[in-house]
Amino acid sequence: MSDKVFIFDTTLRDGEQCPGASMNLREKMEVARQLQRLNVDVIEAGFPVISDGDFEAVHTIATEIRGPIITGLARCVAKDIDAAGAAVKAAEDRARIHVFLATSKIHRDFKLKKPSEEIISLTIESVKRAKAIVSDVEFSPEDASRTEPEFLAEVVEAAIEAGATTVNIPDTVGYAVPAQFGELIRYLKSNVKRIDDAVISVHCHNDLGMAVANSIAAIQAGARQIEGTVNGIGERAGNAAIEEIVMAIKTRSDYFKDFHTEVNAREIVKSSRLVSRMSGLLVARSKAIVGENAFAHSSGIHQDGILKHRETYEIMDPRDVGWGETELPLTKHSGRHAMAKRLQHLGYQLSDQELGQIFIRFKEIGDKKKFVYDDDLGALVDDSIGLTRETWQLDYINVTSGTATIPTATVRLRKGEETLQDSSLGNGAVDAAMKAVDRILKQQGHLVEYHVTAVSSGKDALGEVNLKCDFGDGRLITGKGASTDVIEASARAYLKAVNRVLHQGQYTPEKEIEFLEAAGV
């Protein structure tokens, strides 16, 4: 066990904090089920006290997901800890509470305004409170990489004495460099009493592009749990990408000797694509392991070498991480049962109502293109899940556009039995469609980002639109839509963003400030 590296996935907590990446409960459950298939050791399902939605997500994941440890994040505040305990309770012996408290001098002086002695006292009190609820408690000294090593050792020792079973050393702002970070872990190993009574974990951010390198250095220095996210998504520049760490350990077994993880690497690509769809965050083509170009070779010299002997230019077999040919595609003649079986194979767990909605879109797409591929199905699922009678849905769209006419769009929306219709001019067909939606629902969104990608190949490829909008309250709201018609896909994506705003309610920075002040942060 001493050589196993535990993988702690925080895609649903830290990953979701990336601007515009907010997921609803249905999307979070799809990600959680895929993380279960990926066989990560720990799923950090959310921050239960932060909202009713986060509490419900953590509670539902703790109730339904089996295998991984389920943890909820909590500040060193009584109500946070109690909320996390209630949310993860259903996981029973796999429940963990993860408490954190800032320890660096800059945070003590300017954020918490608390002396060192009070930090120690809060650490002990909070770990003990969590320990009274669950047996598995993780403690994180926030901004550990900028904390004085002597004080950090004192805090970690206090946390272990109070009952912490895991101590996490976060590089919260991505400040560390590998040699220095590794030395910090060695310092703690040598200077903290009973350090071997707890698992040392690290949580690295990518502000300087060294999150994975710092995580690897920490493993070499004695850490045995790595925290990260699928695709490396997260705050600012993101977190350590767990797929890169897992494959570094596996591929360089000559260097890492007996270190290993128990992650099912063949689920990596599927996990990457699912998280990308659910979060709305596209994966860069050049991204290691999971990017479209990760195993592509355009140079004639490289292609010649690959054909002669794959290992000349590939250090990994792409099949080991889930790349490979898809099975035979479906067609418009395929029935609902065949579509449902294919979706089940792809890892989606859908209700009869959702299957019905997707099958309608499947038939529409099947009439417009020869084959419906796995990626097409994934786009249709993402475009359809979460739709209810309380959600505005696109019922009809007609657009007039051209070089010698003013772009005009007529849109009809449906919610249950209610239908509304209006038209609008615009600066292009997409703009006209979005403005028509705004006129109908009497609101206005500002388009911040807009991306169109071909889901599969060919002239009849399904187009997928990913966009981010600001509806005037400072949040970036993600929307995704798919269709063989890019204008229709754009309208669907924008409407999905609008629905998110309507369901999430109004947010103001003042509310967040009030919340933080009430919690003493």
What does residue 204 show for φ and ψ, rounded to 5 degrees? -110, 135
Q: Is 174 left (phi over 0), alpha (psi -120 to 50) or beta?
A: left
- Rounded to 5 degrees, what angle do the CA atoms 62, 279, 517 make? 70
Structure tokens at 170: 């976060």
Matching residue, tokens 């409960």 = 25
63 class by beta-carbon count within 10 Å (0-12 exposed, 13-18 middle, 19+ buried): middle
**468, containing H or E segment:** strand 463-470
Tens digit of each residue's pLDDT, the chain (521 residues): 459 999 999 999 999 888 777 788 988 999 999 999 999 999 999 999 998 989 999 999 999 999 999 999 999 999 999 999 999 999 999 999 999 999 999 999 999 999 999 999 999 999 999 999 999 999 999 999 999 999 999 999 999 999 999 999 999 999 999 999 999 999 999 999 999 999 999 999 999 999 999 999 999 999 999 999 999 999 999 999 999 999 999 999 999 988 999 999 999 999 999 999 888 888 998 999 999 888 875 455 555 565 665 677 678 889 899 987 556 678 888 999 999 998 888 888 888 988 998 999 899 888 888 888 888 888 888 777 766 667 899 999 999 999 999 999 999 999 989 999 999 999 999 999 999 999 999 999 999 999 998 887 777 788 889 899 999 888 888 888 889 999 999 999 999 899 888 876 644 444 444 444 444 44
Matching residue, tokens 């749990």 = 225
Q: What local confidence, expressed as pLDDT, does residue 506 receive?
A: 47
Please give the C-alpha separations between residue 281 and each of 23, 235, 451, 456, in angstroms, as whole numbers.
11, 13, 10, 18
What does residue 46 show for φ and ψ, rounded to 5 degrees? 155, -170
What is the rounded distance in angstroms from the CA atom of residue 212 to the CA atom of residue 5? 14
What does residue 253 show for φ and ψ, rounded to 5 degrees? -65, -20
Give the count of beta carbons closer than 10 Å to the beta carbon of residue 480.
Answer: 22
Query: What length is written for the chain?
Result: 521
Query: Distance between alpha carbon 58 and the CA centroid of its chain, in Å?
Result: 14
Cβ neighbours for 267, distance < 8 A, ≥ 6 positions apart:
34, 37, 38, 39, 322
Nearest by Cα to 41 from 2, 8, 90: 8
> Taking the model in full, what pTM does it have?
0.86
Handedness of CA 33, 19, 241, 451 (dihedral sign): positive
What is the rounded distance in angstroms from the CA atom of residue 216 to the CA atom of residue 249? 9
β partners of residue 168: 201
- Characterize 435-460 residue by residue with b for buried, 16 or more Cβ atoms within 10 angstroms of its Cβ, and e for exposed: bbbbbbbeeebebeeeeeeebbeeee
Domains, the chain, ordered by start: 6-279 (3.20.20.70), 336-384 (no CATH), 393-504 (3.30.160.270)
Give the count of beta carbons closer than 10 Å to the beta carbon of residue 54.
Answer: 23
Structure tokens at 268: 């990596």
What is the rounded distance in angstroms from the CA atom of residue 354 to the CA atom of residue 49? 30
Give the count of beta carbons closer than 10 Å to the beta carbon of residue 477.
Answer: 25
Q: What local confidence, expressed as pLDDT, does residue 474 receive?
A: 80
Q: What local confidence, expressed as pLDDT, does residue 42 receive?
A: 98
